[in-house]
Amino acid sequence: MLSLIARAPHPLVRHLPFPAERFEEVIGTGVVAERPGFDAYATGERHAGPFLSSSPSVVLGALAAPTSAIRLPTGVTVVAILDPVRMAEDFATLDPISGGRIERVVGKGAEAGHFSLLGLDEERRWDRRKEKHELPRRLWADESVEREGEFRPALKNTTPCRAPATGPSRPARSGDRPRLPGPAARHGDPLFTANAVQPRAACARLIDHYRERFEAYGHDLRSVTVDGLGPSRPEQDGTPLRFAEESAPVVRREAPTSLRGRRPCPTAGRPVRPSGTM
């Protein structure tokens, strides 16, 4: 499950929830998701628009307290716009608090405007991402870090952060640009895509490039599998119905919201028609 913590007026009653209401709903949903056995509950990172997810590490810390088993990934950490030392410290702190359930999913971010918001040149986003992806790993692993980079002051005999127990971070990507698979393959990290609009040919190019670089860095190609190819059409059609019948009653009971019951929905009581996609 993934939440970008959107905050916008309800389409029917036009109620705009207070930020505290939305955070309460997000955390409550994470608690509910753990009970039936969901694997993970991620929070995204957005820095503009109608979203409250500009500090996902803070939200994940709040989610870690009332949960005990569900994994808590970022979705995603936009490393190109963050200070890598501060990011390494945040995750080194979150890791013991969560019992090793935090996962840093790395990506460039698809939101327009966050580079200009933070005074950064978007044209250098890939160079920034590459440099800032490597430094947290060294801060978590090396006894002493000395490093000079282009995008932040040099580090001299820096004491590293305590290494997270969760193992490698998980680089993410969207689209078909073959830039993120390289760092992922170098460290033997899994590759994750949350892009639902790219054609199959783009995904095939992405996978082929990742496998090529994975093997070139000396990893065993036999350990690479492609998972999550997507459900069949009948499974897609049945997903909304199963959610309405099985999940929605639990969510309504365990994570109530003030929006329900304000005004009857115009389509209430009509048969639910399965949709073609989810």
**Residue 51, number of CB atoms within 10 A of its CB:** 18
Give the Cα separation of 278 and 270 in Å (integer): 20
Domain range annotation of the chain: 1-167, 176-219
- What digits encode the pLDDT tens for the residues 221-260? 777 776 654 555 566 556 656 776 787 788 778 777 664 4
pLDDT, average across residues 208-215: 84
Give the Cα separation of 104 and 78 in Å (integer): 10
pLDDT at 277 over 50: no
- What digits encode the pLDDT tens for the residues 163-183? 665 444 555 544 445 556 677
Structure tokens at 194: 């949350």
User: Structure pTM?
Assistant: 0.68
Give domain 1-167's CATH architecture. Answer: Alpha-Beta Barrel (3.20)
Structure tokens at 200: 């199959």
Per-residue pLDDT, 67: 96
